[in-house]
Chain A
């Protein structure tokens, strides 16, 4: 079945045949590039996170010439390094009934039936290879005493399929990919460009042929050409200013290719993570995630009585003084089957619901408890320490309270963006020769991502999918010689970038970049956050427009545009976050249903669960850029569920 919606020309290029055979069939018939030709082909990979590093390393191993870019001073510092909890795979080592199909099914269901079946099935299929690959690289996954790999369970699943390395899984997986990348750098097949930021995509005759990037140390812009460009720049959660993302995480590369014709899919699907450390004050610069794995043993509660909550907020009562029968373990109460392990969107909304109703704790009332007293009693402090020691230490250093003695305080925060650049089955965007992988693309997670599935997707894309599919494209490019960066297309693109920088530098207004970004963040959290309505989304569009105007007329960037300039870097990113914020609100407004991370208060069941409208909204919204200050156009990729029965999600 090739979903070819003639009217809108969205072609997902899904191969024919039964679900379980599509990928095998594809690989059997795709075009490949022979070794001699690989050497003649250049590939730019933007990003060194799990997706970018694994892709660059693998493409280098295959013999392509790879140029790999990142903003940080070393590829190893990409934001993926911060992932804590783990990575899923359908190994069924626990013999608890897991299978490729079940992982596929859980991901589709967890995504609230808004992902493309064929891509998700392939993801589940290659998940097992990832674990094998990482072990071979020397990733020190947690093990049982017998020497076999250990697993833990994560939200949205009833099997134990998550592999982990203490609370530092992302770090260990990224260091694995980074070491493979280092090996290729040594061999010369990958050239690393660290402290470089892509600022535009260069298109020649309709195909992606290079990028313009700014050397962040010298401040100069430079040109790079290639036969294909891969964007692996991560998610856009920092639109909200406060998020669990790293400070440098941004949506700029994604917006650059959007402005050049790549569709932006499902921008409104953003994930709010239920277990983050609450906001402490105005100077807060980011929010720290406490891994979801804590919900394996920790129990979430608020006081049953409002007066107890009030007394806690004013410091008159301590949580440990609240008797067992006066605690409301609201997740266990509302969702007996999944309890504390319901998916993230469900857990986040439930926390907000309790706090809004006046049962919140902490000085601001915007927090709930995550309590370890029961597991410490049941398992012993040692076992709890072995499982979560580093997370507890992290919490202690930030909050100055000891989670072994008093419950942690947590509150939801923006964490991950399921939306992103639209890609077809081959991970190619709507611009030929421009591919998009990892969190930057929209694929696989639908309207909500399950825990431990982003690492899986990033590595699946980079190690096992893109290195195949990109060859199907490059096979047609073997007779294309290397490009000179003196071509007029490069000139124009670089000039455009310079003009944008000059325009920003010339404003010389009164507002700092951060002050404007914080303002945008508040608008996003209030109006495009956990509970959206038509009114709030419309308000957001107006407010974002106002902030955008203020930004372009009153921002102040000190220093020189042609020198190292950290404020300019932030300003360039904020200019794009403002556009993303607008797209998120627009998309949320059109989607008159609730699904996964997109919760419209108007559309809920009588007991407050998300109410989908499959008849009208079972599609991917693909936004097409129409020019500065023009309304973007929305195209649809219809979602057809051939192999799963679409149901209302139920975690009760």
Chain B
């Protein structure tokens, strides 16, 4: 912690509603502590706007510790900003220089329409999950937890895939607006585990079909998603998804 203060200029996307035209507004913000988080900096901006009796910038956030996936923001051309392996809420102002101009935009993608300012609608992800992102088991209909041993390596690998926070940065980063990384993470997690394996092919097919239906683009293996994913979800998941998907096709 160093307690230094910096002055910055912000170019923020403001848009009243889904159908209205948006534009960048420029704001100057002085005396930002480098120890504060990026969202705390936006709080400061909003306090300033409110003191000028203006409406604050609307953005999504909740846990502010990188786990809920609620925060988004395209900062200086990167989903979740310039730092690696973190979400916007974990980004700190020490990553920026005194006098710097910071551009802040919403996720821009066909699958995520803008609601207002920096807030977008990501219900499409919920719909994809509803199409098959689960093991079909009812409460109470289970075996003893230790009945099926699962090698540590497999459990760890499933855990890595399960780390996806559903933020949508992968979609925002992709020039095709594809949701393949998100979908593949869930498909892989469940395909790796004996509990989820049985429905693997059906699940992959249903989730991919839903993704296509909702207007997400095709995956052309650019790898942009993996590079911007705050949780290090690997594109090897996409390869596994393709295998599951092919086996589903095969069975048809």
**Is A57 engaged at the interface, CB distance under 8 Å to the other chain?**
yes
Which residue of chain B lies nearest to A558 when distances are taken between CB atoms in the complex? B55
| B94 & A398 in contact (Cβ 8 Å cutoff) | no
Which residue of chain A lies nearest to B51 when distances are taken between CB atoms in the complex? A512
**Is A632 engaged at the interface, CB distance under 8 Å to the other chain?**
no
| A247 & B62 in contact (Cβ 8 Å cutoff) | yes
| B70 & A72 in contact (Cβ 8 Å cutoff) | yes
| B142 & A133 in contact (Cβ 8 Å cutoff) | yes
| A146 & B149 in contact (Cβ 8 Å cutoff) | yes
Majority DSSP secondary structure for residues of B touching A: loop
**Is A590 engaged at the interface, CB distance under 8 Å to the other chain?**
no
| B189 & A140 in contact (Cβ 8 Å cutoff) | yes
Distance in Å from the Cβ of B166 to the closest Cβ of chain A? 6
Distance in Å from the Cβ of B8 to the closest Cβ of chain A? 14
Which residue of chain A lies nearest to B17 when distances are taken between CB atoms in the complex? A564
Given A140-B162, A186-B130, A400-B94, verify A82-B70 contact (CB < 8 Å). Answer: no
Binds A, one of B36-44, B97-105, B169-177, B219-227: B36-44
Given A147-B151, A180-B134, A182-B130, verify A136-B63 contact (CB < 8 Å). Answer: no
**Is A3 engaged at the interface, CB distance under 8 Å to the other chain?**
no
Binds B, one of A33-41, A166-174, A257-265, A300-308: A166-174
Bound together, the chains give a CA A292 to CA B39 distance in angstroms of 26
**Is B240 engaged at the interface, CB distance under 8 Å to the other chain?**
no
Q: How many residues of B contact A (CB 8 A)?
A: 80
| A281 & B115 in contact (Cβ 8 Å cutoff) | no
Residues from chain A with a CB closer than 8 A to the CB of B68 are 72, 77, 79, 81-82, 246
Bound together, the chains give a CA A217 to CA B86 distance in angstroms of 27
What 0/1 pattern do residues 383 to 410 of A give for CB contact below 8 A with B?
0000000000110011111000000000
Q: How many residues of A contact B (CB 8 A)?
A: 83
**Is B79 engaged at the interface, CB distance under 8 Å to the other chain?**
no
**Is A283 engaged at the interface, CB distance under 8 Å to the other chain?**
yes
Bound together, the chains give a CA A59 to CA B245 distance in angstroms of 32
Residues from chain A with a CB closer than 8 A to the CB of B53 are 556, 558
**Is A515 engaged at the interface, CB distance under 8 Å to the other chain?**
yes
Which residue of chain B lies nearest to A137 when distances are taken between CB atoms in the complex? B135
Bound together, the chains give a CA A136 to CA B162 distance in angstroms of 15
Bound together, the chains give a CA A399 to CA B37 distance in angstroms of 10
**B122-155 contacts to A (CB < 8 Å):** 122-123, 125-126, 129-131, 133-146, 148-152, 155
| B166 & A74 in contact (Cβ 8 Å cutoff) | yes
**Is B195 engaged at the interface, CB distance under 8 Å to the other chain?**
yes
| B64 & A81 in contact (Cβ 8 Å cutoff) | no
| B62 & A77 in contact (Cβ 8 Å cutoff) | yes
**Is A547 engaged at the interface, CB distance under 8 Å to the other chain?**
no
Residues from chain B with a CB closer than 8 A to the CB of A144 are 152
**B70-123 contacts to A (CB < 8 Å):** 70, 83, 85-86, 90, 92, 94, 115-116, 121-123
Residues from chain B with a CB closer than 8 A to the CB of A186 are 130-131
Which residue of chain B lies nearest to A397 when distances are taken between CB atoms in the complex? B90
**Is B69 engaged at the interface, CB distance under 8 Å to the other chain?**
yes
Can you report 6 A-B residue pairs in the complex whose CB atoms are below 8 A from each other? A81-B68, A133-B139, A140-B162, A180-B134, A288-B64, A558-B53
Question: Known contacts A179-B129, A194-B123; can you find 7 more A-B pairs with CB under 8 A?
Answer: A61-B139, A76-B126, A143-B150, A144-B152, A166-B159, A281-B33, A397-B66
Query: Using a CB–CB distance below 8 Å, which chain A residues touch chain B?
Result: 54, 57-58, 61, 72-77, 79, 81-82, 91, 93, 129, 131-138, 140-149, 165-166, 168, 170-172, 175, 178-180, 182-183, 185-186, 192, 194, 217, 246-248, 280-281, 283-286, 288-289, 362-363, 393-394, 397-401, 463-464, 467, 512, 514-515, 556, 558-559, 564, 566-567
